[in-house]
Structure 1
């Protein structure tokens, strides 16, 4: 069983700039079958746009997806963890911050991302969340 986040994280997460349109971000999510795109500027993580951010901060307010940009809807105050963090530390961070995804940062550099589904698959493969997280996407 893995002990550290670096062992279960998704390396090389999908990124975009703060000026990327949310239409572009949405296409990236669809094409990558992912629920988040990390916003990076000058090599530093500036935020994260999740599928929920798109719905709650853009669609619900009828924002134009071609002219609304990532920085307008992203979550900017992110909890992060290093790749050598123990899995239990990441679980606690997610609990404490009521979040489902954590960027993995080494020094100043984005090296991966880990989701609550990744943790479920690692810790309890027979759980409903692990089954859902491991299932093929609906297309």
Structure 2
């Protein structure tokens, strides 16, 4: 049975907690990505997306020299590299996630996204995840 290791993007782009918004935005531009993991001692402590930068910083006119940790989403949900693709699709749907860092022994080894489910699987797993992500939450 295929696992996350089979479809993940290996070696995701990461920064340390003291990276600035400008540094992260520049990485996103150079790497053509929409999210960056914040890691400390090879363990994820946060994640920031291009949308986070726009909504949480740019919209309020904040300084781009500010540490990225002021704008990250903490409590990063991760999954083990040996987890099943079906479990990842279910977790994405239930938690309304677009991406999940993949770990091995607690260390980040990859990233799986909704796009990975769409492009690298067969059987509509991306549809299951997308339907869950698209459901409004009771916030």
Give the TM-score, by structure 1 length.
0.84
Distance in 1 separating the partners of 2:122 and 2:23: 35
Residues of 1 paired with 2:42 and 2:121: CA distance?
32
How far off its partner does 1:108 sit? 1.6
- In structure 1, distance between residues paired with 2:34 and 2:16: 17
1:113 corresponds to: 111
CA distance in 1, matches of 2:24, 2:10: 19
1:95 and 2:101 matched: no
Structure 1's unaligned 5+ residue stretches are: 130-139
Tell me the residue number matched to 1:37. 36
Name the CA distance, whole Å, in 2 between partners of 1:124 and 1:27.
34
- Pair 1:78-2:76 in alignment: yes
1:7: which partner in 2? 6
Instruction: Give how far 1:72 is off.
Output: 0.4
Which whole-Å deviations, capped at 9, do the CAs of 1:96-132 have from their partners, x for residues lacking one?
Answer: 111101000111211000110111112359xxx9xxx
Distance 2:29 2:16 in 1: 18
Deviation at 1:62, TM superposition (A): 1.2
Asked if 1:54 is matched to 2:53, the reply is yes
Taking the aligned partners of 2:88 and 2:52, their CA distance within structure 1 comes to: 22
Residue 81 of structure 1: how far off its partner (Å): 0.6
How far is 1:78 from its partner? Answer: 1.4
Shift of 1:58: 0.9
Distance 2:62 2:19 in 1: 14
- Aligned partners of 2:26 and 2:122: how far apart in 1? 31
User: What secondary structure sits across from 2:51 in the alignment?
Assistant: helix
Given that residues 102 and 115 in structure 1 are in contact (C-alpha distance below 8 angstroms), is that contact kept between their aligned partners in structure 2? yes
The answer as to whether partners of 1:81 and 1:103 remain within 8 angstroms in 2 is yes
- Give the whole-Å Cα distance in 2 for the aligned partners of 1:103 and 1:84: 13
